[in-house]
Every structure is written in structure tokens, then in C-alpha cells.
Amino acid sequence: MTSSLPAPTTPSVRRLTYADLPQVIAIERRSYPTPWSLAMFVLELSKPSGICLAATDGEGAITGYLICSRYDTVWHIMNVTASPDVRRQGVATSLLTDLLARVEEPEPRFTLEVRVSNAGAIALYERHAFRAAGLRRRYYQDNGEDALIMWRTPATLRGSLDDIPNAVDPRNKTRLL
């Protein structure tokens, strides 16, 4: 028996624009108990040093987005979201892969926070050489959940946390950020 569903296709990734924000806000509201506001997205889009990306399907509809800000020598991934109806179909992977390819500097450093309960996102980041290096207690306002702090640096690409200040493997629990 063959499936009548079409096979998922790799989304196209491009720069996110102000015109995309109505679709982004709709996805954001369906995805999170405390969604970002329109003003937050406008602020991030207005930063010249940031990278904001949109994933689109074959018809040009937004299927996901990524917001990344530059702070001094570190890129902070602030938001990676796939529309609920296309999760686990490669949208977030495409966005993250595109972001990493766009940063053209010798040894870029990336960081992000992710809910400790979000095993799918943690696995995605680990596949891209991000490593857990700390914990932010009660980071999420909606339920007080902790956030895992993850980094992708030259050291994490080699399998260590040597170039992350105060890094601690949260599973070790000897020192938390």
C-alpha cells in the first residue's frame, strides 16, 4: 500500500522581512504559551547585525523562522520555530544549517537557551555541534521551567567545552550558571 501524502520537501530559506510578520506572528501564537510580540520581532529585524530567516514551502508560505542576534563576539539564537503542522519535517534543520553557513567569520561562537523538556530541539542542536554548558533556573515565565544553555564554538566542534567561560555539564551538577 502506498501513502497518498506527498513526501516532505526541503524548505527554501531566505531573509525574513517585515512583510512576513503576520504569518510569523500566527505561527508564534500557535507555538508558544507566551509568544513574542510584534514589537519584539520588529526590534530584531531592525538590528543590522542580526540574521533573521524564513523557511517557506513550495508556494511561498512561511513554515518557520529563525532569529539570531549578534552580541559582541557571540551569536545568540533567540528563536527557532517551525509551524506546528510541519514539525519534524526538516524546517528547523534547514533554518539552522542556513544560519551556520551565512556566518562568514573564522571561528564563530553561537549560544542559545532551550527548555530542558524540549528533547527534540536539544537533539537538533546537538546534531549541529551545540553542547550543554549550563542551566538558567526558572528561565521560562509561563511555567518556571529551567533552560539549558547550549553553545557551539571551536571547542564544541572538537567535543569539549574548553572555550566556554564557567561551562559546566548540567548533568554533572557541580557548578551551574
> What residues are annotated to the active site?
113, 125
3-state DSSP assignment of residue 56: strand
Nearest to 52 by CA among 37, 39, 42: 42
DSSP lists the bridge partners of residue 54 as 14, 65
Distance of CA 20 to the CA centre of its chain: 18
Residues 49, 154: Cα–Cα separation, whole Å: 21
Nearest to 20 by CA among 44, 4, 48, 3: 44
DSSP 63-120: EEEEEEEEETTEEEEEEEEE-GGGTTSSHHHHHHHHHHHH--SSS--EEEEEETT-HH
Distance of CA 63 to the CA centre of its chain: 14
